[in-house]
Amino acid sequence: MRTMIKALLALAALGVAAGGAQGQTIAPQGRIPDTQAQMKMSFAPLVHRVKPAVVNVYASRVEKMPRNPLMDDPFFRRFFGGGDQGAPRERTQRSLGSGVIVDSSGFVVTNQHVIEGMTEVKVALSDKREFEADIVLRDPRTDLAILKIKSSEPFTALDLGDSDALEVGDLVLAVGNPFGVGQTVTSGIVSALARTQVGVSDYQFFIQTDAAINPGNSGGALVDVNGRLIGVNTAIFSQSGGSHGIGFAIPSNMVKVVVASARSGGKSVRRPWFGGKLQAVSSDLTESLGLDRPIGALVASVVDKSPASEAGLKAGDVILSVDGQEVDDPDGFGFRFATKPLGGTATLTVLRGGKKLTVPVKLSVAPETRPRDTVVLKGRWPLAGATVMNASPAVAEELSAEIGVNGVIVADIAQGSPAAELGLKKGDVILEVDENKVATTRDLEKLAKPRQYYWKLVVQRAGEVLTTAVGG
């Protein structure tokens, strides 16, 4: 059989030569492996290098269940048992995911949603060893978190690659722990870059891949053919819960920012503040803005005394690039700007009145212009269970709230609370209660009084002011 194949290949080669003599060149599309070494070509050497740096992440927390009030009744205790049955019980919540060691000292990057709300974390290496780990940094805005393995021994770590150097069609491997079956490797290509509208973080700028990613892969590694980490697997598009060949990874250039913050001892990620509201360029606006296609980020408004304002940016400007990197839309700008190091400037290419301008913008953090004075609202009223802070540029940036707002911003909502039932969301700005303007968290706390009829609330969400009446 092999002799026949070689004979056919020889005839094909003669045909190519004959075609060449007539002025035609036919390039062979491939060849059949004719040696054992060629037949054994695989990703195995790459996998051997990558696997020790990819870990399984096991997170848990212990919750106390409320004491059964019926156990206070002697009659109930008589028929249903006494003892400690009325005492608070405990329930353990668990989460399973993957992670990647990015520093030999034991720093591990994973997804924030893998360890969200969890207090205890363990990581398991590919060689079955397990270690406890501390959660050193959570960054909900990127859906990333950093763990630190509790051990002084050196670990195998992956180098962080340059996600901006990726091209559609590049080969990639996904490594993780899908469905908890154990470490698994899948291969594929980069299907698309700069994917937006995925909805799992504030920075919508994902690598799309067809390498199989399933539940449990979250926090795992997406690596290139050189074994460098170029993405952290974070989400899939699926109607069944299984892989449909559409997976998304957070680019390594965003991962670098979060890892650097953890290495420096930071408990949160400090990013540059732009201080402007952006919107997409629609097809209807393209011609009037002097563009030949809908591209760039249109400046809708600018906050006073912000870096955007100090740089001279104005409503109607179109941002086309950041430090020479093209910007397709506001999400693209948000990613490019957020991955710049603090200090110095970023150079924006801006279209204004049909002319291109070069505008330097300072890379500085959003200021906390007044104390946040965090308050957890209590009492018998619709806002009970909400954690609120005084609005400032720093708080608005941190909570992805409307920029330049005044009032009180919702920072968190307790599950099952009246505020959650009301539909209040993180980032909402509470402006008024019963026609009383709310300037500070203490103003709001004083308004927590029972009403005989209803409460009237005015809330700002994503630039829209909402008014509602809630029964007492």
Radius of gyration of the chain (CA): 28
Contact 355, 424 (CB under 8 A): no
Return the closest-CA partner of residue 313 out of 253, 247, 358: 358
* 49-77+88-268 fold: Thrombin, subunit H (2.40.10)
Out of 95, 98, 103, 143, pick the active-site residue: 143
Quick: pLDDT tens for 116-138. 888 889 999 999 899 999 999 99
- Distance, in Å, from the CA atom of 173 to the CA atom of 221, rounded to the nearest integer, reads 8
* 375-471 fold: Pdz3 Domain (2.30.42)
Provide mean pLDDT across the span 57-80. Answer: 59
3-state helix, strand, coil in the chain (%, to 5): 20, 35, 45
pLDDT band at 448 (very low <50, low <70, confident <90, very high): confident
Give the three-state DSSP class for 349.
Answer: strand
For residue 455, the model assigns a pLDDT of 83
1 pLDDT exceeds 50? no
Return the closest-CA partner of residue 168 out of 193, 187, 197: 193
Concerning whether 244 is annotated as a catalytic residue, the answer is no
For residue 33, the model assigns a pLDDT of 60
Provide mean pLDDT across the span 60-74. Answer: 57
Quick: pLDDT tens for 315-336. 999 999 999 999 999 999 999 9
Q: Which residue has the higher pLDDT, 68 or 20?
A: 68
- Distance, in Å, from the CA atom of 98 to the CA atom of 177, rounded to the nearest integer, reads 6
Give the three-state DSSP class for 344.
Answer: coil
For residue 28, the model assigns a pLDDT of 43
Out of 98, 113, 139, 392, pick the active-site residue: 113
Q: How many CB atoms are closer than 10 A to CB 331?
A: 22
With a CB cutoff of 8 Å and minimum separation 6, the contacts of 14 are none
For residue 466, the model assigns a pLDDT of 85
Return the closest-CA partner of residue 412 out of 464, 376, 372, 448: 376
For residue 250, the model assigns a pLDDT of 93
Where exactly are the structural domains of the chain?
A: 2-39, 49-77+88-268, 276-362, 375-471
For residue 83, the model assigns a pLDDT of 52
pLDDT band at 198 (very low <50, low <70, confident <90, very high): low
For residue 402, the model assigns a pLDDT of 75
For residue 116, the model assigns a pLDDT of 87
Query: Taking phi first (over 0 means left), then psi (-120 to 50 degrees means alpha), and beta for anything else, what does residue 47 get?
Result: alpha
Contact 136, 262 (CB under 8 A): yes
Cα separation values, 411 from 321, 395, 397, 427, Å: 33, 9, 12, 6
Same fold yes or no, 49-77+88-268 and 276-362 = no
For residue 236, the model assigns a pLDDT of 65
Out of 163, 191, 201, 218, pick the active-site residue: 218
pLDDT band at 241 (very low <50, low <70, confident <90, very high): low
Provide mean pLDDT across the span 255-259. Answer: 95
Give the three-state DSSP class for 173.
Answer: strand
Dihedral (C-alpha) 402, 306, 296, 325: value to the nearest 10 degrees? -120
For residue 201, the model assigns a pLDDT of 65
Concerning whether 113 is annotated as a catalytic residue, the answer is yes
Lowest mean pLDDT among 45-54, 177-186, 408-417: 177-186
Contact 468, 461 (CB under 8 A): no
181 pLDDT exceeds 80? no
Concerning whether 412 is annotated as a catalytic residue, the answer is no
For tokens 């195995």, name the residue.
Answer: 44
Quick: pLDDT tens for 206-233. 899 988 887 778 899 999 999 999 999 9
pLDDT, mean over the chain? 82
Q: Which residues belong to the annotated binding site for substrate?
A: 113, 143, 216-218
Q: Which residues belong to the annotated binding site?
A: 113, 143, 216-218
pLDDT band at 203 (very low <50, low <70, confident <90, very high): confident
**Structure-token pair, residue 314:** 């104005």
Q: Which CATH architecture has domain 276-362?
A: Roll (2.30)
